[in-house]
Structure 1
Amino acid sequence: MLVDLWPLYALTVTTPRLQLRLPREEEIAALAELAGGGVHRPGERPFMSPWTVGSPADRARTVLRDHWQYLATWDVAEWRLGLGVFREGTPIGLVTLHGWDFPVIRQVSTWSWLGVAHHGQGYGTEARAGLLTLAFDHLGATAALTGAFQDNHASLGVSRKLGYEPDGISVDARDGQAVVSDRLRLTVERWRERPHPPATVGGLDACRALFGL
């Protein structure tokens, strides 16, 4: 069976309203169509990559390509775990956990998107908390990093709600202009001292070697 060859398909993170797991082929197609329908309001630009600027078909194909690339290039030295966010079996978004030299440095970064119809309902906070539960409480991460443009108030609000603290700024070129992002950092100590939505993790034991553990 596929799960025997690629045990990440058995990995699940369950929160009160959501389940995070690696999507199967028909589910990643549904997620791609969801992204094609929009992941932010018109006129916004919350991501450094211009993947949301094109047509609905362009956005959908980007989701497919990224999903396949993450699977094909998985390596202990650097990996990206892209988990579908499901609400009562329906895909509503995608969250990604990125690790590099993880057995040594024990740091991760995260990024995510939700279909625009699912914004403003606390799903982003709950999904990020589930991802961080996996990272801190089960993989042994010591810090999680993230960043957002200074006008991306929704993303920054989720990070601050979960206890991230300022970690400087980044200045990057976007469309020929300099843009500033706030960098944020959450340590395992701060994670454990602050309240966050509960989450349970299943199927990790068979996956540990893939993370270098």
Structure 2
Amino acid sequence: MTTVVWPVQGLWLRTADVDLRVMTEADLASVCDSFPADVEQDPAATRYALLDEGSNRRAVVAQSYWRALGTWSPASWALPFVARNGDGDVLGMQWLEGPDFSTDRVVDSASWLVAEVRGRGLGTQLRTAVLELAFRHLGAGAAVSSAVVANAASLGVSRSLGYRDTHTSVLEHSGETLQHVRLERDAWVASGRGASVRIGGVGPALPYFGLGDEDD
């Protein structure tokens, strides 16, 4: 019998068109190969002077994944979900994060999609899936997100799911204005938007979030 070393990687979410599973080492090459050139990465991430741009972008993807699981604690965690279609092709990634979760029970999210599948509503499905996980199973009280005001697609997803504008800030590295939004748990549950999302693998993962048992 094989021992499951990290049960968090057994979490899975399923929507009408997308299967989401927590990233593993086996996903790394395909995710890096699929990562779009127009997706901005963390400007504070390490860059290597002797690598070209493509190699540096792959390094940021890899180190972000390793950091997420390697520094995990119930107080602060990050879930990197790989999104695939029914044929197993990588469509993108959806992150769900609880950077101060034991204190405030607030989750944040970020995502990207490969260019050829954008505009089909898949971003809404990805966000719906992780919100249902956060609110129904992880005890989140609220979800926040943010996007530059020019990113109408991201803000459109947020607003379509019930997020409300809260405030703006300015990005130091670019000077762009960032719109912040927030969604409360009660509003999400009342909306019923996550009813069609299928979720599995929750029970064994709960202790890693500092949570008790749940029927899976």
Using structure 1 for the length normalisation, give the TM-score.
0.87
State the one-letter code of the partner of 1:4: V
Distance 1:196 1:87 in 2: 21
Shift of 1:140: 1.2
- Contact 1:75–1:210 at 8 Å: present in 2 too? yes
Structure 1 gap segments, 5+ residues each: none
State the Cα deviation string for residues 101-155 of structure 1 (Å, max 9, x = none).
3233211111111111221111111001001010011111110000010000110
- Contact 1:82–1:97 at 8 Å: present in 2 too? yes
Aligned ranges 1:131-142 → 2 under 5 Å: 131-142=130-141
State the Cα deviation string for residues 34-90 of structure 1 (Å, max 9, x = none).
01x4355xxxx6x66387xx7333222211111111111111121111110111121
- Contact 1:38–1:116 at 8 Å: present in 2 too? no
- Contact 1:39–1:114 at 8 Å: present in 2 too? no
| Identical positions, percent | 33
Aligned-partner SS, 2:4: helix
State the one-letter code of the partner of 1:165: R
Structure 2 gap segments, 5+ residues each: 46-51, 212-216
Name the CA shift for 1:179/1:196 in 2 (closer, same or farther; >3 Å).
same
Using structure 2 for the length normalisation, give the TM-score.
0.86
- Contact 2:93–2:112 at 8 Å: present in 1 too? yes
Q: CA RMSD in A?
A: 2.2
Equivalent in the alignment of 1:99: 98
State the one-letter code of the partner of 1:93: G
Shift of 1:186: 0.5
1:144 maps to 2:155: no
Equivalent in the alignment of 2:43: 49
Shift of 1:2: 7.1
Equivalent in the alignment of 2:27: 27
The structure with the largest strand share of the pair is 1
Distance 1:76 1:128 in 2: 22
